[in-house]
Structure 1
Amino acid sequence: MSRSTDSLLNPSAKIALAVWSGIKENLIHTQPKKRPTYSPPLITLKATTMTILITGGTGKTGFKLAKLLHAANHSVLITSRKGVAPEPFKAVTFDWNDASTFENPFKADANINKVYLVAPSVFDALPVAKPFIDLAISKGVKRFVLLSATQLQKGGVFIGKIHEYIASLGVEYTVLRPTWFIENFGSLFIHSINNSNTVASVTKNGKIPFIGVDDIAKAAFDALLAEKSSNSDFYVVGPELLTYDQATEILSEVIGRKITHTHITNEQEQGFFRSIGMSPEYAAMLNGMEAAIADDAEEKLVGTSKTITGTHKLRDYFEANKALWTK
């Protein structure tokens, strides 16, 4: 599991249709007589460019998604806590901890009709997210793509409650439930790898179809632009199943230094999560999700009718980012 001031917004195009018809002369009796030429009034059609709002638009998946949409010539607006984003994107200030910022995107662009939703990272997330979701619908949003996780069930804890709420509203939606990120090796685990040559987990020998953020962004891109919304949820997984022992072996080969997988207890892992700022409830939830890997919870999601399989592999990520783990 788990900011450019230039606008991408095209001005509304005005298409003028000049329609005319001429009526030729008719001879009536012996003298030619002109009938008047009929010219209907000028008709102006207004073409409106709709905008996709990306919450968390400078985050791992949000920024990748923004670049995909931009490359495909779609209008994009990004939210960030500071209201800034790398060029060429336009950003607005948005903070889940400050409900007064929720209307900022719609003040900046009245044409928002779709939202990529990265939920607030608090255990009881629905009461925080609900006012924004309701506001978005009142402003004309027709489709949501929500980022969740494989082990977060509809109606369950954390994002599961948001999943259930959006599904109850009658709007178009897709919920993406990715497995564990490849990029965790360059963020969550980077200090233990560089300081102790280890990755610690409670997963034992359980296998994970590690997923890259590029693949998640592509799944979100497809869900946002699909002609018909799925109104369902999908697991998003990578193309290979690996244990942490196998993953650290690959990393060792790539960087030329022995990295090992250390097996720890649930209590030790929750303590680590709390040490990096997670609440006790959030730490317990995350630990429970990782502990389920030891019982093949992630492996069982591969190849189902609800599975989207990406193409990015762990070794490729390690090769492309060697400098992260070079002492």
Structure 2
Amino acid sequence: MNTPGTTLVIGATGTTGRRVSAGLIAEGHRVKAAGRNATPVEGAQAVRFDWDEPATWDEAVDGADRVYLVPPIGSSDPAAVMLPFLHQARAAGVHRAVLLSSSAIPAGGPAVGQVHQALPGLFEEWAVLRPSWFMQNFTGSAPHARSIREDGAVLTASGEGRVGFIDAEDIAAVAVRALTDEQAPNTDLVLTGPQTLSYDDVAAIVTEVTGRPVVHRHLTFEQLRDRWAAEIPLEFATMLAGMDRAIAEGAEDRTSDTVLRLTGRPPGTFRAFVERNVS
């Protein structure tokens, strides 16, 4: 494989995209930073890209030989726009694709699982990143961060279920390797932090680090679904609440060695993340 040429990073100002862009640039790779507003990214070529506007796709893929794919946010059927784009990207010369999916969604599963299933048939070089829940869900404007600030509570329907929360920094570090290493992974990669935690554990750690009492409020599936449905379409709200139910049933109670294996360093802990980021 030749030295990487130009990587198109979709969602280049998002949680993982901006970190992937920064990691690629730091290693001297050329980056096209794609987003709806073509927001300037230092060291990259900004380009306008919108999943729902195919007229923006040509310029985005022009000159790129690999792509980091962040699905359209909030879509219950991302394959409807992503698969036509991927065919166009391949025809334009893209030969490696790295897709951001989720540990909760297998190949052929709902939503981005359909894109995952199609990827190996479209590209000879590929990877699907399947991270567990982001530690960043507890910062900024994310729902858990808002409820912690406003109510001193984390609200889930996950019961005592455990999750291998992962830092987006670690996801991005794996993505950079998957995009640029001589050999593409050509597989899906489950990404987790070093330990699994219940949301009771999460609340206790945030309390200990910040000194502010935070509790985990246990909701039913229906309560969480209805809470989400006040803000997003019912179909998507039902899917998100279903993910919490799967956590309660043990679906996310696992850790993987992927971060260490691909980057050479262990993934960060949730406590260290809170110490750095949550006030």
Q: Please, what TM-score do these two structures have when normalized by structure 1?
A: 0.79
Aligned residue type for 1:141: V
Q: Which amino acid aligns with 2:175?
A: A
1:165 to 107, 118, 123: 118
> Aligned-pair distance for 1:55?
0.4
Amino acid at match of 1:236: L
Q: Check whether the contact 1:125–1:159 (CA below 8 A) recurs between aligned residues.
A: yes
Structure with a larger share of its residues in helix: 2
Map 1:1-327 onto structure 2 (within 5 A): 50-106=5-61, 110-121=62-73, 122-186=75-139, 187-276=142-231, 278-299=232-253, 301-303=254-256, 307-308=258-259, 310-323=266-279
The DSSP-based 3-state class of the residue aligned with 1:168 is helix
Whole-angstrom CA distance in 1 between matches of 2:41 and 2:31: 13
Greater Cα offset, 57-66 or 312-321? 312-321
The structure showing larger relative contact order (alpha-carbon pairs under 8 Å, at least 6 residues apart) is 2
CA displacement at 1:74 relative to structure 2? 0.5
Q: Secondary structure at the match of 2:195?
A: coil
Unaligned runs of 5+ residues in structure 1 are 1-46
Structure-2 separation of matches of 1:73 and 1:308: 22
Residue 254 of structure 1: how far off its partner (Å): 1.2
- What one-letter code is carried by the residue in structure 1 that aligns with 2:149? N
Measure the CA separation in 2 of the matches of 1:123 and 1:100: 22
For 2:263, the equivalent position in structure 1 comes to: none
Is the contact made by 2:98 and 2:126 (CA closer than 8 Å) also made in structure 1? Answer: yes
Shift of 1:82: 0.6
Q: Partners in 2 of 1:166 and 1:316 — Cα distance?
A: 35
Supply the distance in 2 between the matched residues of 1:220 and 1:295 (Cα, whole angstroms): 29
Separation in structure 1 between the aligned mates of residue 270 and residue 124 of structure 2, nearest angstrom: 36
User: Which amino acid letter does the alignment assign opposite residue 171 of structure 2?
Assistant: I
CA contact (8 A) 2:162 2:199 kept: yes
Q: Is the 8 A contact 2:34 2:48 kept in 1?
A: yes
Inter-partner Cα distance in structure 1 for 2:4 and 2:136: 34
How far apart, in 1, do the equivalents of 2:119 and 2:65 lie? 15
CA contact (8 A) 1:198 1:262 kept: yes
The Cα of 1:170 is off from its aligned counterpart by 4.4
Letter of the aligned partner of 1:111 in structure 2? G
Offset at residue 322 of structure 1 (A): 3.2
State the AA in 2 paired with 1:113: D
Q: Distance in 2 between matches of 1:79 and 1:170?
A: 20
RMSD of equivalent CA atoms:
1.7
Distance in structure 2 (CA, Å) of the matches to 1:298 and 1:233: 16
- Are the counterparts in 1 of residues 69 and 99 from structure 2 also a CA contact under 8 Å? yes
The 3-state SS of whatever aligns with 2:20 is helix
| Equivalenced residues, count | 270
Matched residues in 2 for 1:255 and 1:284: separation?
A: 32
The structure number with the bigger radius of gyration is 1
Percent of aligned pairs with the same residue?
Answer: 36
Structure 2 unaligned residues grouped into runs of 5+: 261-265
Query: Is the Cα contact below 8 Å between 2:193 and 2:269 reproduced in 1?
Result: yes
Deviation at residue 89 of structure 1 after TM alignment? 2.6
The question of whether the paired residues in 2 share the 8 Å contact of 1:176 and 1:235 is answered with yes
In structure 2, distance between residues paired with 1:303 and 1:139: 35
Query: Are the counterparts in 1 of residues 30 and 44 from structure 2 also a CA contact under 8 Å?
Result: no
Alpha-carbon displacement from aligned partner over 1:108-166 (angstroms, at most 9, x marks no partner):
xx431000001113101111111211110010000000000011111111000001111
Structure 2 vs 1, CA of residues 89 and 261 (structure 1 numbering), >3 Å: closer, same or farther? same
- Deviation of residue 102 (structure 1)? 1.2
Shift of 1:308: 4.1
- Distance in 2, Cα, partners of 1:95 & 1:321: 30
Q: State whether residues 117 and 145 of structure 1, in contact with CA within 8 Å, keep that contact through their aligned partners in structure 2.
A: yes
Structure 2: how far apart are the matches of 1:273 and 1:171? 39
Q: Is the 8 A contact 1:235 1:308 kept in 2?
A: no
